[in-house]
Structure 1
Amino acid sequence: MTAFIRERNTAAMIDPGHHLQIGSLLFEGLDQIDLTGPFEVLSRIPNSTYGIFGKTMDPVRDIKGLRLTPDATLGEAPQLDVLHVPGGFGQEDLMADEEVLGWLRAQAADATCVFSVCTGALLLGAAGLLRGRRATTHWSAFETLPYFGAEAVDERVVVDGDWVFAAGVTAGIDGALRVAAELRGDEAAQTIQLHMVYAPEPPFDSGTPQTAPPEVVSKARKAVEGITARRTETAKRIGKELDVDLTTFS
């Protein structure tokens, strides 16, 4: 498995003198690493302002209880150059939330880069924004992507023009570094990586269903079978609403 499916699109790089507005969606039940991993990268991009935006100013908790607070509401967000959409179990509760989906559509329309992590891709799908795109998401939700009209690509990071998709959780750091390189060049991204001391050496090769021991994969799939089933049913419903032709991806 390779890290990326395309060479970097240098055309996406913009004037380094242009001040970037970078923002992340915050919601109850997200996976905090989907947010905070990319935050470590995105907040260090030169000549930029980073913000976190929620439906209200109320703090939320991630899936393990970590409390997080937005900087402003969705309605107060400026037009973003970089729209970052994290995932997590709480994503499922937003799949019919028109306030959030409408905000994603409006921001994506004029963003320089749209960046999803994990099941944040499903939120973009619910907003009707994945049709015809090559995308990835967390392994537990990967099979739902075609229902949104996307071509599912089993890679850690997928770059489709000025959109970047990270497969899940820690892959968000890799994806964010790709975003930084797209916007400010490889040297800027490498400098950020160095400051983060991002040189992972995991003790096990168990980070994907392809490399983890079969018994570990089986237990992991069992643990998420409930949310996986709900996501699949939601994806099928949205696919019908979007009139997606699944034969295109068969």
Structure 2
Amino acid sequence: MDIVIPLFEDFEPLDAIGPYEILAYVPGATVRFVTAEPGLVKDVLGSMPVHVPTAYQEVERCDVLLVPGGGSFLRMSADQEFLAWVRRMHEGTRFTTSVCTGSLVLGAAGLLDGLTATTHWAAVADLEAHGATYTAERVVRQDRVITSAGVSSGIDMAVQLAALLTDEVTAQAIQLYTEYDPQPPYDSGSLAKAKPEVVARARTFG
């Protein structure tokens, strides 16, 4: 089972590494990172460069495509060569997925038109500009297209995906092994819960 995660300059690290940590434990799965030009790829925070040895054009098909978000989403959403590759991959995937603003890449590729989808709360207008209907749910499955909201929700999505690729006992075992049992110290992880001053501060991070 081939799971492919494209990385580009300024990718959001947890968007990619969170799902990778879960999906790499799926029995029989191989998770590969790909990029435009093999070499070091810098994350959006700047301190975790990742060496990616494979160009995305070398990949002819995959079982799962997982597109993370980050500061590069506008650039990648305008890269017609990359979008054409995303469409080719989607033709043969079991599941095409995204985390955070990675959904905007799927939208730009025409894969979300008419579907309900989610993304980071700050990118709702961009998502709907691609013909999708936004929902604030953390994970949204529309047949074999699965989108997840901002950053940490990618782990939720990966656990659900692990169940779809294997079975619920295996997915729960992976969740247990990684001790994914979130108990955040504050209840401010969504727009519906955060105070106005918290939302204002969060907007300065983008």
Query: Contact 1:21–1:78 (CA<8 Å) still a contact in 2?
Result: no
Q: What does the per-residue CA deviation read over 1:90-111, in whole Å, with 9 as the maximum and x for residues that have no partner?
A: 1111121112111111101110
**1:201 is matched with which residue: 170, 175, 183?**
183
TM-score (norm 1): 0.79
**SS of the counterpart of 2:129?**
helix
Number of positions where the alignment pairs a residue of Structure 1 with one of Structure 2: 205
Cα pair 2:83 2:109 within 8 Å, conserved: yes
Q: Which residue of structure 1 lines up, in the alignment, with residue 44 of structure 2?
A: 63
Aligned partners of 2:39 and 2:53 also within 8 Å = no
Structure 2 counterparts to residues 73-112 of structure 1, below 5 A: 73-112=55-94
Looking at structure 2, the residues matched to 161 and 114 of structure 1 have their Cα atoms a distance apart, in angstroms, of 10
Which residue identity is paired with 1:53?
A: V
Does the 8 Å contact 1:94/1:123 carry over to 2? yes
Gaps of 5+ in 2: none
Give the conservation status (yes or no) of the 8 Å contact 2:117–2:140: yes
Separation of aligned partners in 2, 1:93 and 1:171 = 23
Instruction: Give me the whole-angstrom Cα distance separating, in 2, the residues matched to 1:145 and 1:62.
Output: 22
1:216 equivalent among 198, 202, 205: 198
| Corresponding residue number in structure 2 for 1:9 | none
1:54 corresponds to: 35
- Which runs of 5 or more structure 1 residues have no equivalent in the other structure? 1-19, 225-250
Q: Which runs of 4+ in 1 moved over 2 A?
A: 221-224
In the alignment, residue 43 of structure 1 is paired with which amino acid? A
Matches within 5 A, 1:175-190: 175-190=157-172
| Greater fraction helix | 1
The equivalent of 1:117 in structure 2 is 99
* Identity, % of aligned positions: 41
1:144 Cα deviation from its structure 2 partner: 2.2
Counterpart residue number, 2:22: 41
Question: Normalising by the residue count of structure 2, what TM-score does the alignment of the two structures yield?
Answer: 0.96
Cα RMSD of the aligned pairs, angstroms, is 1.1
Distance 1:85 1:217 in 2: 26
